[in-house]
Each structure stands twice: as structure tokens, then as C-alpha cells.
Structure 1
């Protein structure tokens, strides 16, 4: 088999969507005559752990680990909540930031470029240079964010005769939170220079959306392949919730707070007694304080079932039971190309998806293409109310169901075949 080296930060026992993409690729690459070797940190500072994912690591996979210096562990000393991260907690969870949080955010944005895992780059290049030589590895793949992982690939490309593929699970300088990092002009320029250097030096580039591909094509002429996230395995048949359940899976922080949805749901509970009796809003994952405040403001606090973070195995059981699956994105031009990993598991669950996000959102286009639900622009209150009433009437009749089409191309195994073909593909 052809050996490839995959360099990643997120790996089991890390939880969340960032780990699942390459865990699943690794699971299936051997089926396409590629032997993956994985390089990850020995002592990472993962914000969420999900030990259930460790069971999915294929037997016999070689996993290399080296220590990493994590500045976030030091930052936690100053935080009231030890688990809060500068990267997501301060950037997204609060509208009002303390003076200390503002200072930490400035440090995060301007002293840790491209991110706080930058201190893993030099020792990793040194360690992996010898390993690549010894194992005769010809292909190296780096996956980010964190985008400092790509700098490891850059260092190895400069030293070794390898094919280097970069995988961008999210954009770099156009990601929504980038504007909130309190970057100086020179820091902003440094990010852009590093981004262009990585894109122009890599041999091939993988992205998760067409929007990101179009964005990167302006910065490089290297081959770019869109390989989305996906779903894995068949859904276990289960009984639907008795309640008219609207479930959101994953972090729901301040910027994604769907004020218009809470407003409409609040109105419907006042106008429709049957709707009031049946409604349940189920939230799985980290939920921001502002979200709970909005729910309370619109009289929905008593309808909320807050489950917190669940293991991925539990999430897979919950999704097909829900009457409606909720997909949310920040209403911004920069987020049009963001395709949340949960979208594809939602497709596989075969429950109606209610997507609320920016105009031209690529996720909404996929939902329409597959007949999997409805995508609405964030401020379309009238359309939102109409669809909720329509789906509620179908729920009352026991007829709220759909038959999505063409979702097979998003199965993890088919996506891995695309990846294997791209690894072997040689540009003319």
C-alpha cells in the first residue's frame, strides 16, 4: 500500500466535528490501498473530549505523538472557568468582554500567529523529517484549523521531496471570528502572507465547500478539490419523539443565536394552544448565556430541554428521533461557504432540516438539492412561521416525513474514495 503521513491536531479522545473528518478518512483509506500514518500531539488541550470515538480508530494504524506546548493552559489560570478557551470562549460566547478577556484576545490574535499551536511547528518538522526519510513517505497531508499545522507541512516541503496536500476544514483569513481577534494591521498582513505562502507552496489543496474553493482560486493556481464532510453508517430505525421536537446539535453561541426563530416560536405558543402543548426545543452542546436569555425573553424557557454535550454515539441515536433538525449559521457573507459537519448526519437521519442562515448559503443549496428540508434567510420571519405551521400540521397527522435523494455521495466511504483518487492524481 502507498504510505501517507497525516498531520492533525484533533484526534480521539477529542470530541466535536473537527476530529471526525480525518478519523473517518483513516477508517476507510486502506480500502483504497493507502496506508495512513497519523501524527498528533501527545498532550493536547482539547476543549471537549469524547472517548467513544477512540473505538473507531482502525486496528493497527500507526499513530505518532510528540509533546506540544499549549499556551491556552496558562490562559486558563486567569479564567473563572478552567475549560474556557480564548479561541472560542472569549471570541464568540460573550457580547461584553472584561478588560482581561480583551487583553487575552489581543495576545491570542497578535502574538500567536497563525494560532497558539505555533510552538509545535519546529519540533514537529525536526522529528518528522527523520521519520519521512526512514519510512520512505512520499505524501504528507496537513489538516487545519489550527492553521499552524500547515506550517509543519510547509517546513517538510522545504526539506524533503514530498507531495504536500493541505486540507482546509475552514477558511483561514475569511473565517467569521478572524475579524474579532483585535489584529493590528501588521498581524492581519502576516496572516494573509502565511495563507498565500501555504496555498502557493502546497502541491494540492482540499477544501470543504465550493465557496472556499472560489476564494482560494484567487490566491493560487494549484489544484483544488472540494471534499465535503459526510455521514457514516446506516441510521438505526427508532420511534419519533411524541413531542414536536426541534433539535439543535452542537455549540450554539451568541453569533448564531436565532432571534427570529425564538420570536416566531414564542408567538405560536401564544396563538396556538395545540402548538404550545406539543413544542419542545432540544439543545445539545454548549449553549451561550445570550441564547438562554433570548429564549426566556420570548417565553420559551419552559419548552427547552438542555442536554449539554453528548457523546457522538448518543447524538446519532437522537437525530433520527427528532421531528425537526435545526441548522444555524451566522448571517454574514463570510459564512456562505461554511458547511457544518452535522449537516451531513442530518441528511442521513432523514428528518426535516430547518436551516437558517445567510443568503446564498451553500448548506441551504444542498438541502434543496437533496429534498431534505428548507433553507431560509435569517430575517425571513413570514416564511419561517409558515413552514413551522405547515410542518406542525403534518406532525399532528403523523405525516411529517421526507424522502431525501442523492445523499449517498456524502457517505464517508465515497468521500474517502474521492480523497484517494486526489492523492494519486498527478497534474499534467
Structure 2
């Protein structure tokens, strides 16, 4: 194949999260990059050389496609400066764990104000100018015609915006989460000027990109009210991991994997569990609440206040491979999303791994949540709102009775459409049509 044809198949992917970063932010493009060469596309991945990642999972480095070209440039990280004052507050805020307003310290309030008003759209904005300067030359020398930016952090879209203006490349903006309607946006103590700037940048990005990718139908609808550019939904998904078949836990384990933020605090669940351990001795003897990942102090306080502390196995952050194994061991998987209008569009990445784990899911979230429709279509579990305590309790009891009879399992249908390889095929087709 001639060099010209080879170069035409190269796609530059600009992402902040990349191994050894842990957590959900890294998974989407790690897996797209894994499969893009199967569809005739050569991925070139641009990442920071010295990032500040709140979570580290070195095991993910083994999953990087050896065919991918990885290029790096140093980044100036304000979170490094902030950590000199408080490492814990800095790590929490960079992870999206924002303390309840009533419990925020003066330092935490100041950090949130600085983050929201001085670093627009986010703390990685200082990477934009040096990246544009470097990448202009790189894409010219390599003959790259297509650039993809993925956010958050949404400052990376500003790199794509400038490259589009200066080099005329084809540009795809991928939004793993929304911008100005994301759950934590309102917690950043934005002044009027900062809020206006966010809106202006969001509008410019959405109306300049050649194509916009989102992860949910609600975000697609939201963005289509802002732009006439094409908007395509490509959800997150699951991969066929080399995880040995697991023996289910002997206990009736209800497992939550991932960050359990303050706003994801389903009081109806804790109340339902409190009633079950009081009313049903068998349930009390068998039950265990398994927490894997960062858990906010507010959530732990609610659990303790409900008399459930003795049932908790708080495992903290574990590697992705360990998390996958624990999913398959657990009797029931718990999925919780913030109860607000703004989070109806959020389809947590772990939902798809949950579905592939072949364990029943109990999900709690806002009425009208997009992920509730996916669960219903795939027959992978039960969805309840934050007010449906009786529905939650009845579901847990139904699962528990099946557990006692040795018949607790998921009977999923139609999962293949959410496999990472099939989703990458959809992405590749989009790229070839640009």
C-alpha cells in the first residue's frame, strides 16, 4: 500500500485518560484503539506525558494495542499545585467526589471556585496551546486527515477546535459525558462570566466539529437543540475479558463497583435493607454489602445510620481485572446514578460490564433514565427510582429467595450489540464516511 493510502487511514485520538490511569474514563478509547486496526484504521494516540490521575491501574497497560502509535507531551497540572494544600481534597475533587455544601471547608470552597472560574472549561486547559503547536506539525508530517477528541476533560475539545480552524482537518468530538449539564457543573460555584464562557465554548465546539459522538439518546437530543452538526450515539460497552469463571459468593452479596459519590446516596435502599435484616433472620445471616471503589463519607454515614455497618465489606479501589472477577462472584450487582434531571442521560460504563457478568442488576436512578431502557431491553435486572422503597425491597427479597433455591442468575438477551468490537465497527464506519 502506498504511503498516501496508509496515511489516509491514520486517525489521531486526543485523550487525557490512558493507562496507567484507572477508573471508567480510560476504558472507552482504550478499547476502541484495541479494535480499530481490525477495521483498517491506524490509531495514533496523543496523551499527556506527566498526568495527575486520581486512580492508577497498571494492569491496563497490558491492554494497550501494540499496533497503536502513542505520542506524548508534558502538561501543566494545577492539581499538582493544589495538592500542596490538601492532597485528599485535591484527589476527591479531581475524581468528581464533591463534599456536601454544608460540610465543605473554606479550602474546599476556594478550590471549587478556582476550578470553576479560573480554569475554563477545566483544569487541563493549560495543555491546549502547547498541544496545538505540537500537533499542527505532527499531523502535517504524518499526513493525518482526521482528529478525534474525547472529553471530559472538555478542554481537549479546544485542541480539536483549534486544529480544525488552522489545519482544516476532519474533526470528531466525542462526549463521554455532557458539558454544561453534567452533574457536578453546578457545584463549581460559577460566576456569571464563567457560566457564559462555558456555554459559548460548548456552542462553538458543537457547531464546528464535523461529527459529534455521544453515549446516550438524551445527550443526543440535548446537543441537537444546540447544533445542526450530525450527532451519533455510540454507547460504552463490554469486552470479552480473559476472566476465569468465578464461583459465586457464599454470602448473598450486593456489590457496588465504582465511585459511590455523595449525590448517589439512595436512602430508600438503606431503609429497605435495614427492614430486611430486622424482619428476616435468614436474610440477616446471609447478607453482605460489598463496596468496591471510592466511597464518600456521606454514603458511609447513611449506611452506618441504618444499622448496616456490620454487613459491609469495603474493599476500596481494586484493579480492573479484580473488579471484573468480583462482579462475576457477586450475587447481585448494584448500580446507582444521581437522582436529577441532568443525569437522565448518564449511562454508566459499568452497566455493560455488569450485563456481561451474567448477574442480576438492581439499579436506582432518576425517573426516565436512559440506562433503564437498556436494562429493560436486555432483561438484565430491575430499575427503581429513589422513592420506590417497596419496589427495591421486593426486588431484593425476590433475588434472595432465588439465591436460597440456587436459581439466582440473569437471563440476558441482545447483549451482542454492546460488545466493544461491534461498537468499534460503528465508529469505523462513521470515520470512513467523513
Is it true that 1:4 corresponds to 2:11 in the alignment?
yes
SS in 2 for 1:306: strand
Give ranges in structure 2 of 5+ residues lacking alignment: 1-5
Match of 2:298? 290
CA deviations 1:172-200 (Å, max 9, x no partner) are: 00001111110011111110000000000
Q: Secondary structure at the match of 1:6?
A: strand
| Contact persistence 1:38–1:64 (CA under 8 A) | yes
Q: What SS does the corresponding residue of 2:91 show, helix, strand or coil?
A: coil
Q: CA RMSD in A?
A: 1.3
1:112 maps to which of 119, 139, 161: 119
Residue 81 of structure 1 corresponds to which residue in structure 2? 88
Aligned with 2:128 (options 118, 121, 133): 121
Correspondence list, 1:185-334, <5 A? 185-233=192-240, 236-334=244-342
Compute the displacement of 1:390 (Å). 1.1
TM-score scaled by structure 1? Answer: 0.97
Structure-2 separation of matches of 1:86 and 1:393? 41
Q: Distance between the aligned counterparts of 1:402 and 1:329, measured in 2?
A: 21
**1-structure distance, mates of 2:383, 2:82:** 39
Shift of 1:90: 6.0
What are the Cα deviations for residues 107-132 of structure 1, in whole angstroms up to 9, with x where unaligned?
11000000011110000000000001
Q: 1:82 to 1:97 in 2, by over 3 A?
A: closer
Inter-partner Cα distance in structure 2 for 1:16 and 1:36: 22
Equivalent in 146, 157, 160 of residue 150 of structure 1: 157
- Tell me which stretches of 4 or more aligned residues in structure 1 moved more than 6 Å: none
Following superposition, the deviation at residue 3 of structure 1 comes to 0.4
SS in 1 for 2:263: helix
Alignment of 1:414 onto 2:422 = yes
In structure 1, runs of 5+ residues without a counterpart are none
1:371 counterpart (375, 379, 382):
379
1:75 Cα deviation from its structure 2 partner = 0.5
Secondary structure, counterpart of 1:78 in structure 2:
coil
Q: Report 1:19-58 matches (<5 A).
A: 19-58=26-65
> TM-score, normalized by length of structure 2?
0.96
| Structure 2: distance between partners of 1:357 and 1:121 | 35
Conservation of the 8 A alpha-carbon contact between 2:96 and 2:184 = no
Q: Shift of the alpha carbon at 1:59? A: 1.2
Deviation of residue 239 (structure 1)? Answer: 1.4
